[in-house]
Amino acid sequence: MFRGSMTALVTPFKNGAVDEAGFAQLVERQIASGTHGMVPVGTTGETPTLTVEERRRVIKLCVQVSAGRVPVIAGTGANVTAASIEAQDYAKQVGADAGLVVTPYYNKPSQAGLAAHFKAIADAVALPIFVYNIPGRSIVDISNATMAEIASHPNVIGVKDATGDIQRVTQYRLGIGEDFVQLSGEDASALGYNVHGGHGAISVTSNVAPELCSKFQTACLEGKWDEARALNDKLQPLHEAMFSAPSPAPAKYALSLLGLCEPDVRLPLVECPDGVKAKVRSAMEGCDLL
Q: Which of 60, 90, 132, 277 is catalytic?
A: 132
* Measured CA distances, 94 to 2, 58, 75, 151, 284 (Å): 19, 11, 13, 25, 35
The DSSP call for residue 72 is B
Report helix, strand or coil for 7.
Answer: strand
Q: Is 160 a catalytic residue?
A: yes
Q: How far apart are the first and last CA of the chain?
A: 32
The 3-state secondary structure of 76-133 reads: CCCCCHHHHHHHHHHHHHHCCCEEEEECCCCCCCCHHHHHHHHHHHHHHCCCCEEEEE
User: For residue 123, how many other CB atoms are within 10 A of its CB?
Assistant: 11
Q: Is 193 a catalytic residue?
A: no
* Measured CA distances, 211 to 21, 84, 150, 157, 178 (Å): 22, 32, 34, 27, 28
Give the torsion sign (CA, 234, 236, 242, 247).
positive
Q: Which of 92, 119, 160, 252 is catalytic?
A: 160
What does the alpha-carbon distance between residue 224 and residue 262 come to, in Å, rounded to a whole number? 37
Phi, then psi, of 259 in degrees rounded to 5: 75, 25
What does the alpha-carbon distance between residue 31 and residue 52 come to, in Å, rounded to a whole number? 26
What does the alpha-carbon distance between residue 237 and residue 23 come to, in Å, rounded to a whole number? 26
What does the alpha-carbon distance between residue 38 and residue 72 come to, in Å, rounded to a whole number? 5
Positions annotated as catalytic residues are 132, 160
